[in-house]
Structures are given as structure tokens and as C-alpha cells.
Amino acid sequence: MADQKKLVEEITSMKEDFAQWYTDVVKKAELIDYASVKGCMVIKPAGYALWENIQKELDKRFKETGVENVYMPLFIPESLLQREKDHVEGFAPEVAWVTHGGLEPLTERLCVRPTSETLFCDFYKDEVHSYRDLPKLYNQWCSVVRWEKTTRPFLRSREFLWQEGHTVHATAEDAQARTIQMLNVYADFCEQVLAIPVIKGRKTDKEKFAGAEATYTIEALMHDGQALQSGTSHNFGDGFARAFGIQYTDKDNTMKFCHQTSWGMSTRIIGGIIMVHGDDSGLKLPPRIAPVQAVVIPIQQKKEGVMDCAASLADRLKAAGVRAKLDDSDKSPGFKFAEQEMRGIPVRVEIGPKDMEAGKCVAVRRDTGEKIDIALDELEKKIPELLEAIQKNMFEMALKHREEHTYKATEYAEFCDLIENKPGFVKAMWCGDRACEDKIKDDTRATSRCMPFEQEQLSDKCICCGKPANKMVYWGRAY
């Protein structure tokens, strides 16, 4: 058990230092390593396997809505980026520039894409001619670069992986419908696959995407009470279309400007999985996204028949559709148990001589630690059932945590006290004035997370200035 204790001790307690706990987990679970380029990370196999599963699940959902994948260049000419004023101003502080090609200075600087709106717009202006060409529903999987000052693995790095959807439509109504449709795709994915409950709503004008008419978001609450913007969907109206000349000939033979949307989710969501579900033993992965759903650990593996039996169980699980793995290393069982827990594998299946004699194995749940005897001839039935139970329980536990850390405030002193002393979401009314939003941030370091679709009239006055208010907002400190 010494090995097991040592492994756990190497992870700082959440209560002691949540930030250090997070860093310990991503490093100890071998999700990432630090790169020689400051602010960038190496995503190791365990971390990339998570991203592959996220990509697979999202891509399937996108394609079910008619979306097709494309790929745009990495570089954006400076003149192209300048075409949409609000957009370029919003990204200017984070842009990385290429000034030389080999030894020769470039005649025009190239931006390393922080996002690809301008590239898609430049493409669409020549792709769209008639109403018959619409809609265009494109998405790309790629990396982007934003020169962040303060970085943390997954949550904020100078280069990160994501998908960015860019669609173009004939009418404002079609664009708005697509914007909300994709937000719902993200919300369903987070709740059904990642077991992360989210709040759906609209961003304030201060917090919306640069150049967007409206930005919609899904917001999740982390274990430490801070919020994480987990996916966004933007309605661009016809602003980009006017800047780039994206027009089409309508059925009445008149020229009209298109309406566009953009929507994205990045590797930041892996940080969300860690911070919503993890504990002091390490990761805790929801079964539907876990690269390995069950690990088979032989006990007294040198005893005759044990290893063969363990290998057989792993093979049977794989044949039943479970992502299973056999741990046949020469580490001690205690170390293997702690390693399985630290890596977040949902189920551990133990098999030893006594279990074989009794015709059973022992399944241990990562979410609760519960040990369950399973008859060997029921393995293919019971393990998938157990994985579904774990998936459901992890969502319910995350939802319970969010509900217990969501508060209401109707007076400003109460609001400030909650933000400072009760980490979580605080629901409060807002008059819609940017000055109040700025004051709240200055006073509390909390920002508006979203104006939820499900509104509540907590009072008739703004939490900050006391003027009439009819917008309820979720506020909180955020990553």
C-alpha cells in the first residue's frame, strides 16, 4: 500500500490549493507536458485520446445537422483582417504576426489565425451567388493561436485545438435558428456525454464576440465555484457580409446580403471535465468520453491461470463494446488501483484465484468507490449497465453541486458578500447598463456569465444601481 499512498500524496488536495491540484492532475495523469515554447503544451496520448473522443462525438452531431468539414489556411493577410473593424480590434492584443518568409521580409504581414471569420468570409464572397447556393454549413477542425499573457494547461494556452463552424444563410431568421441549434448541440453534448450540466443563455454586449450581433453561451460551474464558458454560438447578422461583399441573387432577382453564424468548442472543455468531476485521487472520467472505460487488474497474477483469465475478461469486454484494457504490468496491485483512480478510469475489474474459484470478479466504481461482485457469466451484461449508472450518477452529482452553489441576491451588499465568500453562480437582476456591469467587475472581479433563456424576476430593480430591471443574469468569477 506504500506505492498507493505515495501516488495520492503527489496530488495536492483540492481544499489546500485548487490551482495546484489541477496542475498536479494534468501532469500526473499524463494528459500534457510543457513545451519549449512558452505558453504552449504538448498534448500526450491520454489527453489527445480524450480530444479524439470529443471530436468524434461532436463531429457526428454536426453532420446530423447537415454540416460539412473544410479546412482554411493558417495565415490571414493583414488587409483581410482589417476588413471588419470591431473584429480586428477585439483580437488585436492577442494576434501573432509573421513578418518574414525565409530570409525575405514579407510585403504584407500575415496573422497566424486567432479565429477564421475573415478567411471564411473571403471564401464565401466567391462561393455564394444565388439563393440556390444557400445555406452553406461548414466547419473546420484546426488549431488557433492567441498570444495569452497568463496560461494554464487546456484552460488558456497560446495555441489550442478547436472546431469552428461558419455558416451562411439567406435570411436573419435562418441564421438565428442555426445559432440556437448549434448551442443546443453543445449543451446536449456536455450533459449527455461529458456529464456536465450547463446554463444556456445570451452574453451581454460587453461579453459578446468581437463583430457579432449576438453571442450565446453554455456556462458550467467548476468544483471550486468558478465558471467556465464551455461553448459559444454567434449570430453575425449581415455585418461581415457587408464588410466582405457576400451577396446573393434572391428569387425576386434582387441582390441581398447574406446572414452568418459562427460556433466553437475547444480543448478548454477538457479542463472542464477535470474540474467538474475530479477529486483528490485525480481524474474522474464520464464513461461515454473515457478512452478506457474498464481496466482489468489480475490479483496474484503469477498464480496459474490468473493472467489468462484476466486477459479473457478484457477480450470479452472489448467484444461487448466496452473500451477495456488489461493491466498486465509487474506493478503491485495497490499501485495499479491508485493509478487507475488517478487516470479516472470509470471501472476497475479485479480477478484473483479466490474470485476464479467462486466464479466471479470484483468491479470497483471510480465515482463512488463501491465494490460489486459480478458473476463471470454475467460480465458482458453487468459492466455496460454499471457504466451507464456511473454516467448518470456523475451528471447528477455535478448538477447537485451546481444547485448547492447557485445563489440569489436582491441587494448589492448581499451580492458582493456572496461573490466573495460563497464561490458559485449568483443570480441577480440587471438594468442593462454597461456602467453597472463594469462596476460589478471592478468591485467583485465577477463578470456576467449569461442572461439565461429561463428567466426569473427576482426583483424589479438592478442589483447595482437600483434602477428598473427586467433581465436576470448569472454572475460569477470565471476561468
State pLDDT tens for residues 391-408. Answer: 999 999 999 999 999 999
**Domain 406-476 sits in CATH 3.30.110.30:** yes
| pLDDT tens string 306-341 | 999 999 999 999 999 999 999 999 999 999 999 999
| Domain residue ranges of the chain, discontinuous segments joined by + | 2-277, 294-401, 406-476
d(CA 310, CA 301): 9
Q: Is the pLDDT of residue 6 over 60?
A: no
> Spelled out in words, what is the top-level CATH class assigned to the domain 2-277?
alpha beta
CATH architecture of the domain covering 294-401: 3-Layer(aba) Sandwich (3.40)
Tell me, what's the pLDDT at 477?
98
Tell me, what's the pLDDT at 461?
97
Residue 1: pLDDT band (50, 70, 90) is very low
Q: Is the pLDDT of residue 348 over 50?
A: yes
* Residue carrying the nine cell digits 454536426: 62
| pLDDT tens string 429-479 | 999 999 999 999 999 999 999 999 999 999 999 999 999 999 999 999 999
Q: Do domains 2-277 and 406-476 have the same CATH topology?
A: no
Cα 326 to Cα 28, 288, 301, 366, 472, distances in angstroms: 20, 19, 12, 17, 51
Tell me, what's the pLDDT at 476?
98
